[in-house]
Amino acid sequence: MNDSRILLTGATGFLGGTVASKLLREERWKNVLLLVRAPSPGEARERLIKSLNRFEVGEKLLKKISLEQIICAGLDTMPTHAADPRLATVTHVFNCAAITSFGQNPNTWPTNVEHTTAFARKVAAFPRLVRFIHVSTAMICGANPPRVVFEDSYPAVGVSHLVGYTGSKAKAEMNLRKELADIPLVIVRPSIIIGHTRLGCKPSGSIFWGFRMADALRMVTCDVDAVVDVIPVDYAAEALLHLLQADELAHTTYHISAGRDYSSSFREIGHAFARASGETRPADYRRVSYKDVTALQNQFTEIFGPGNKRSMLAAARLYGAFAGLNTTFDNQRLLAEGIAPPPPFADYLGACVQTSKDITIAQQMAVDFE
Ligand SMILES: NC(=O)c1ccc[n+]([C@@H]2O[C@H](COP(=O)([O-])OP(=O)(O)OC[C@H]3O[C@@H](n4cnc5c(N)ncnc54)[C@H](OP(=O)(O)O)[C@@H]3O)[C@@H](O)[C@H]2O)c1
């Protein structure tokens, strides 16, 4: 790894930002190139600093970000290595860039499929390429997965998707495998990423608002003992870095997930919320139907705080469908690489509660529908 050179995309985002904040603490930071969307390296640096402040990186480390490390482009506009000789030195590529919105974002398919494939073709031509880690999502399993999902079962044809985003990620995987069969490509699929073990939801409240909604209602639309496969972002970043730098890997596809043994049930999540809030209350959630939730819509402001009633109802339905899958993503491959299992969601949920105190559910929800 000493003469390795890393190209990281998505460093202004939640996962890529966590990876960048870890690399900044290391000697090899000077060998990192960053693909950032901005008109100039100076503006890209400003965007990076603003985003990395969420991770409490500190002034001293932020000063390590140099303009020479930045390539101002998107996935679709990245220069070839012939046009930008810095890219000819890249050995390791870490693609964390994507449109992750669960809403109807018109850029989702072009970015996640077409632009990602175009980017990968340019990466495939890098003369010193040793490993290309493409970050996908375990949710390419769609709306009807089995209780335990194994890496090789997906992507599959005929899968119905709850949102366009997961369909686009599945298609990107198919394209990359088909077109780029001869490159050292490793596809890594994190499960549901929520919060950070130390910083809670300070870096991002993505998806946590859905659990806040269930907790405010004390209701779930699935079995209370159904489990949900959640990992913290710092764990996901650490595991990705391990997979990036390992000399040999046994597989070319990995889940980064809690798996059956480290996933939390809604019962455990409800108890963790009760502990974090210090309230005495019936901790177990009640199982209800979506119709029951709909019947409460006139009380939403009282229960959830200010926000658009219709959006909240639609979001509750969608996230209820994801949370109620009662699926875990097998993590035996990851553990066999020597990576420790993640902390269960219920164990670090308190940090997410503490850091969500000053933000309403509706405000926290907005990030997932941009
Ligand atoms: N968060 C999760 O729960 C989760 C779970 C499983 C898998 N994943 C996967 O993890 C990866 C990162 O997700 P995230 O949660 O960190 O997303 P995020 O916070 O929305 O960040 C997305 C990043 O991608 C960049 N990006 C978007 N379109 C781009 C383009 N056309 N060219 C270059 N960069 C572009 C964004 O840059 P700008 O700042 O310029 O927009 C941003 O840096 C994604 O592949 C996602 O599918 C996430």
Task: Using the mean position of ligand 1's atoms as its centre, give its distance from the Cα of residue 16 in Å.
Answer: 7
In which domain, by residue range, is 37 found?
Answer: 6-195+229-261+327-343
What's 148's domain CATH number?
Answer: 3.40.50.720
Q: What is the largest CA-CA distance in the chain?
A: 64
DSSP secondary structure string, 252-292?
Answer: SEEEES-HHHH-EEHHHHHHHHHHHHT--S--SPEE--HHH
Task: Using the mean position of ligand 1's atoms as its centre, give its distance from the Cα of residue 91 in Å.
Answer: 22
pLDDT digits (tens, 9 = 90+) for 45-63: 999 999 999 999 999 999 9
pLDDT digits (tens, 9 = 90+) for 87-109: 999 999 999 999 999 888 999 99
> Apex CA 246: angle with CA 13 and CA 126, to 5°?
65
Ligand 1 pocket, 195 CB below 6 A?
Answer: no
Task: Using the mean position of ligand 1's atoms as its centre, give its distance from the Cα of residue 271 in Å.
Answer: 31
**232 has pLDDT over 70:** yes
Q: What is the dihedral of CA 136, 5, 111, 73, to 10 degrees?
A: 160
DSSP secondary structure string, 151-212?
Answer: GGG-S-TT---SSHHHHHHHHHHHHHHHHTTTS-EEEEEE-EE--BTTTBTSS--TTHHHHH
Task: Please say whether the beta carbons of 196 and 234 come within 8 A.
Answer: yes
Ligand 1 pocket, 206 CB below 6 A?
Answer: yes
Work out the pLDDT band at 157, boundaries 50, 70, 90: very high
**215 has pLDDT over 90:** yes
Ligand 1 pocket, 37 CB below 6 A?
Answer: yes
Ligand 1 pocket, 169 CB below 6 A?
Answer: yes
Name the DSSP class of 63: T
**137 has pLDDT over 80:** yes
pLDDT value, residue 297: 92
Task: Answer yes or no: is 57 within a domain.
Answer: yes
Ligand 1 pocket, 124 CB below 6 A?
Answer: no
Name the DSSP class of 244: H
Task: Answer yes or no: is 289 within a domain.
Answer: no
Ligand 1 pocket, 140 CB below 6 A?
Answer: no
Ligand 1 pocket, 200 CB below 6 A?
Answer: no
pLDDT value, residue 144: 94
Task: Answer yes or no: is 59 within a domain.
Answer: yes
Q: Report the domain count for the chain.
A: 1
- Closest residue by CA, ligand 1 atom 15: 14
Instruction: Residue 235: count other Cβ atoms within 10 Å of its Cβ.
Output: 24
Q: Which two tokens stand for residue 253?
A: 């596809």
- Pairing, β 6-9 against β 32-36: parallel
Ligand 1 pocket, 193 CB below 6 A?
Answer: yes
Ligand 1 pocket, 222 CB below 6 A?
Answer: no
Task: Answer yes or no: is 256 within a domain.
Answer: yes
Task: Answer yes or no: is 165 within a domain.
Answer: yes
Judged on CB neighbours under 10 Å (0-12, 13-18, 19+), 193 is buried
Task: Answer yes or no: is 139 within a domain.
Answer: yes
Task: Using the mean position of ligand 1's atoms as its centre, give its distance from the Cα of residue 183 in Å.
Answer: 23
pLDDT value, residue 345: 98
Write down the mean pLDDT value for the chain: 95
Q: Which two tokens stand for residue 67?
A: 């303009």
Using most ligand atoms within 8 A of CB, pick from 47, 50, 96, 319 the residue to mutate for ligand 1: 96
Return d(Cα 74, Cα 167) in angstroms, integer.
21
Write out the H or E segment, with its range, that includes residue 334: helix 332-336
Task: Using the mean position of ligand 1's atoms as its centre, give its distance from the Cα of residue 191 in Å.
Answer: 14
Task: Answer yes or no: is 291 within a domain.
Answer: no
Which of 17-31, 44-58, 309-323 has the weakest average pLDDT?
A: 309-323
Classify the phi-psi angles of 207: left when phi > 0, otherwise alpha if psi is within -120 to 50, otherwise beta. Answer: left
Task: Answer yes or no: is 303 within a domain.
Answer: no
Work out the pLDDT band at 172, boundaries 50, 70, 90: very high
Name the DSSP class of 8: E
Mean pLDDT of 222-229: 95
